[in-house]
Amino acid sequence: MAGDLFSGTAGYYARYRPCYPPEFLADVARRFSLPGTGRLLDLGCGPGTLTLALAARMREVIGVDPEPEMLAEAAQQADRAGVRNVRWVAAAAENLPSDLGRFQLVTMGRSFHWMDRDQVLATVAGMVTPTGGFVIVSDYGLDRPATDWQRAIEQTQAKFLGTVRRAGSGVVVPTMESHEIVAKRSPFRRVERILYEFERRWTIEQVIGYLYSTSFQVRGLLGARRTAFEEEITEALRVCSPDNKFVEPVQLTAVFASLGT
């Protein structure tokens, strides 16, 4: 995972990226029997969204991310929440320190698609306990064209930034194989994909904040056109919903896997 994917976005990411639904977090705890005594490794942790959501169920938690800005934001979030059993490590998932130890659970929340997936799972297989495993969780970006207001977002972004999706200093390379397929050819043998469907509610302020949190680095690319972009996307969204209420149909996918047979 490149170190500049989310440069300049950490504050927006922490504030405007959605939390994970309680049903998913409960499933993680149930499937891996998290009694509060195990260790958790969160790869591509960002500002600690998933790390901190599971910290109370673990004895020790380590969040790993290649971007110092994200880790600084994660540390601030942990301090605000009073979470004391977590530490943060600056590293790529493909180049982990050798002294991290073993873990009951490894998580990758909205991050696995940025990684060398086969390499990371091969490494993770040597880091989990015999009864441990991993969970990969992902959902679509807000700017996918699922509703009229999401299409308005997509069209406005394309007008200002073009149709080629950037990612840090590069461009997005489409992920051809599903995470489930990659997991099934890894050393892990019990692999299951679960789909969670629910709704999220947004305001215009939250939509713009979310867009500024992405690897597209919308805010930085806009430069002097940022005010014009905000005005145009605000007007486009108001046409879709004058009362400033937007409902997103969400499909969140989790791939659970363990070493057990």
**Position 1 in a domain:** no
**Position 163 in a domain:** yes
228: which 2 tokens?
């014009």
Q: What pLDDT was estimated at residue 260? A: 74
**Position 2 in a domain:** no
- Write phi, then psi, for 249 (nearest 5 degrees): -75, 120
Q: Exposure of 59 by Cβ count < 10 A (0-12 exposed, 13-18 middle, 19+ buried)?
A: middle
Q: What pLDDT was estimated at residue 70? A: 95
Domain containing 203 equals 10-258
**Position 244 in a domain:** yes
Identify which has the larger pLDDT, 199 or 141.
199
**Position 5 in a domain:** no
Q: Is the confidence at residue 172, as pLDDT, over 60?
A: no
Q: 22-27: long-range contacts at Cβ-Cβ below 8 A with a sequence spacing of 24 or more? A: 23/196, 23/198, 24/137, 24/196, 24/252, 24/254, 25/53, 25/54, 27/194, 27/254, 27/256
Q: What pLDDT was estimated at residue 140? A: 81
171: which 2 tokens?
């461009």
Q: What percent of the chain clears pLDDT 70, i.e. is strictly above it?
A: 92
User: Which of 8-17, 146-155, 243-252 bottoms out in mean pLDDT, i.e. has the lowest?
Assistant: 8-17
Q: What pLDDT was estimated at residue 196? A: 97
For residue 234, the domain's CATH number is 3.40.50.150
Q: What pLDDT was estimated at residue 173? A: 56
Q: What total number of domains does the chain contain?
A: 1
What are the distances in angstroms from CA 15 to CA 61, 110, 212? 22, 16, 11
| Distance separating alpha carbons of residues 141 and 207, to the nearest angstrom | 11
pLDDT in tens, 43-87: 999 999 999 999 999 999 999 999 999 999 999 999 999 999 999
Which of 223, 188, 12 shows the shortest CA–CA distance to 117? Answer: 188
